[in-house]
Structure 1
Amino acid sequence: MRASLLAVFAHPDDETLRCGGTLAKYAALGADVHLICLTRGEMGRNTDPTLSDVNLPTQRERELQEACRLLGIHSPIFLGYHDSGRADRLQRDDPLTTINADPIEMERRILDVIERTRPQVMVTFDPHGMYGHPDHLVAHRVATAAYASSGFKQVRVQRLFYTVQSREEMERLQSPGHQGGQPLGVLNGLAPETYAVCGCTIAAEIDIHEFAARKRAALFAHRTQTGPHSTLGRLSEMQLQPLLERETFSFGGIRGPVTEYPLTDLFAGLQVGWTAQKGSP
């Protein structure tokens, strides 16, 4: 069976920051790499002043299409739920936001994609959703549920991985100071003991340095989210460069033994085929 990977995230740009290099790597190796995006990021902000009068969900859909093209993966699969927002912009009354939608229905729709794309490996957010965004937490929940339920289905996903960050990685992204009343660091104000993981929890380390240029291009294809008024757009090279060298994952679920720990290949030990010669990006 051909190697296949399915990623499940909440908004356009979620796919690139923490696992874009991994998605690009496996696509280059010959795997089928698909991405489910629950929403179009309607509640985000346009941080690029050169993009005036944009329809944000339409623009963010285009940005994700371009990011997927740059990463070399299939076009995104949008499930059409609405961005829930967060904090004072939390959309409590919209029945189509992920926080209000039926989670069992969301799980069923992900299972439908699993049946079509036949992944051996799934990737989604960790239990804290990287930084606690409500939509990230929903994505984690429904992807984990779909993985569990796939054990009773024709296509039984073999491994579920969560994107995670070490304490060191998280602290590097936390910058002191403010600008315009906003914190400069991407993850400022969050406790690493909650939102990061200890080293022994990291189950896979993927070397992505050969795909650094693709990941960088895909990240900045999300122009509305990486403009000069965004925390992502103000990342220093010292903060950004490690994100272009390796990506780390923990186990969310596994069916069967693994060959080593931590893994250096999400597919290690699985009997899969590749359309390109494995090991030759």
Structure 2
Amino acid sequence: MTAAPPTLLAVFAHPDDEAFSVGGTLTHYARKGVRIVLVCATRGEAGKITVPGMTVDDLGAQREQELRAACEALEIPPPVFLDFHDSGRYERTRHDDPLALMNLTPLEIETKVKAVIDEVRPQVIVTFDPHGGYGHIDHLKIHRATVAAFFSSGQLEGGGPQRLYYTAMTTEAAQGLSRLGRDLDPMLYGVSDDTVAVSIPVAAYAENKKAALAAHGTQMGEESILGRMTPEERAQMERMRLGQERFSIGGTRTALANYPLRGLFDGVPGCEELDD
């Protein structure tokens, strides 16, 4: 058995990142007794309020509470914040904020991620894919810093984390998002089916995931992408997002006995029973 309890560390940039891509997976493993540690690098201070007429005095504080409510919906512990700032996008871009992720070096971010790894000793880490989902600069910064932290943590006692996974969006799913209003090149942002190393069936946790998304109220209003969808488009999105969550391999310190893998812990010493 490994010295630490089975632990999954998920590292993302903003409140709501967790609900879209890994919410069902987090609930799945939480119910199996895995310790879930969700790291959020920022509090989404520069997000766009999508509820017409809503004003918020402190958006970062509001979104922190939304993320805490989302974690409850997903049946996982409260998040860990790295206390960086959201870089924003378009007219909200924070060029002059020294704590905005876009203005930090990857090494500065890696140092904080690695400190969490050292403290919680996860066997498995999950983060953004190399394109950051849809290219957001904060997603790209967190991807790079988390990858670096995985590799630099191999000297930790016990060998460090055993697996690193990226969220994976298939080409078909990217085509679907493009049709729903995301300006994505499916051949750039999507991956081939054989790049997907793990598919987690999450339909059983659909209500958890829907509740987590709803908890992010400032981001899910009428002016959000979800809010502007027709009922037919929303149903299509739910078919894409609520049935399976997919992951590719970012790094491993253990042999892969199967491919595709049966789950995120498949073949990880001491954790095999989690994906039997």
TM-score by structure 2 length? Answer: 0.91
Alpha-carbon distance in structure 2 between the residues aligned to 1:191 and 1:227: 26
Give 1:144 deviation, angstroms. Answer: 0.4
* 214, 235, 238: which one aligns with 1:237: 235
Instruction: Indicate whether 1:68 and 2:66 are aligned.
Output: no
- Structure 2 match to 1:179: none
Alpha-carbon distance in structure 1 between the residues aligned to 2:169 and 2:101: 24
- Structure 1 match to 2:260: 262
The RMSD of aligned alpha carbons is: 1.9
CA deviations over 1:42-93 (Å, ceiling 9, x no partner): 1111112374434211111000001111111121111111111123432222
- Structure 1 match to 2:184: 190
Alpha-carbon distance in structure 2 between the residues aligned to 1:256 and 1:68: 30
1 or 2 for the larger relative contact order (CA 8 Å, sep ≥6)?
A: 1
SS in 2 for 1:80: coil
Alpha-carbon distance in structure 1 between the residues aligned to 2:55 and 2:88: 21
Give 1:256 deviation, angstroms. Answer: 1.6
* 136, 145, 160: which one aligns with 1:133: 136
* Paired AA for residue 253 in structure 2: R
- Structure 2 match to 1:25: 28
Instruction: Indicate whether 1:79 and 2:82 are aligned.
Output: yes
Alpha-carbon distance in structure 2 between the residues aligned to 1:212 and 1:3: 24
Structure 2, unaligned stretches of length 5 or more?
A: none
Alpha-carbon distance in structure 2 between the residues aligned to 1:139 and 1:233: 27
Alpha-carbon distance in structure 2 between the residues aligned to 1:128 and 1:121: 20
* 190 and 143 in structure 1: CA distance in 2 versus 1, 3 angstrom threshold: same
Q: Contact 1:225–1:233 (CA<8 Å) still a contact in 2?
A: no
Alpha-carbon distance in structure 2 between the residues aligned to 1:86 and 1:148: 30
Alpha-carbon distance in structure 2 between the residues aligned to 1:233 and 1:278: 37
Deviates more, 1:113-122 or 1:86-95: 86-95
CA deviations over 1:80-134 (Å, ceiling 9, x no partner): 1111112343222211111112322321211111122110000000010010000
Structure 1, unaligned stretches of length 5 or more?
A: 176-183
Instruction: Indicate whether 1:216 and 2:207 are aligned.
Output: no
Give 1:268 deviation, angstroms. Answer: 0.8
Query: Aligned residues: percent identity?
Result: 46
Alpha-carbon distance in structure 2 between the residues aligned to 1:62 and 1:50: 20
1:8-23 counterparts in 2 under 5 A?
A: 8-23=11-26
- Structure 1 match to 2:171: 167
TM-score by structure 1 length? Answer: 0.90
SS in 2 for 1:250: strand
- Structure 2 match to 1:121: 124
Instruction: Indicate whether 1:205 and 2:199 are aligned.
Output: yes
Alpha-carbon distance in structure 2 between the residues aligned to 1:87 and 1:229: 16
Length, aligned pairs only: 268
SS in 2 for 1:174: helix
Alpha-carbon distance in structure 2 between the residues aligned to 1:190 and 1:87: 17
Runs of 4+ more than 6 Å apart: none
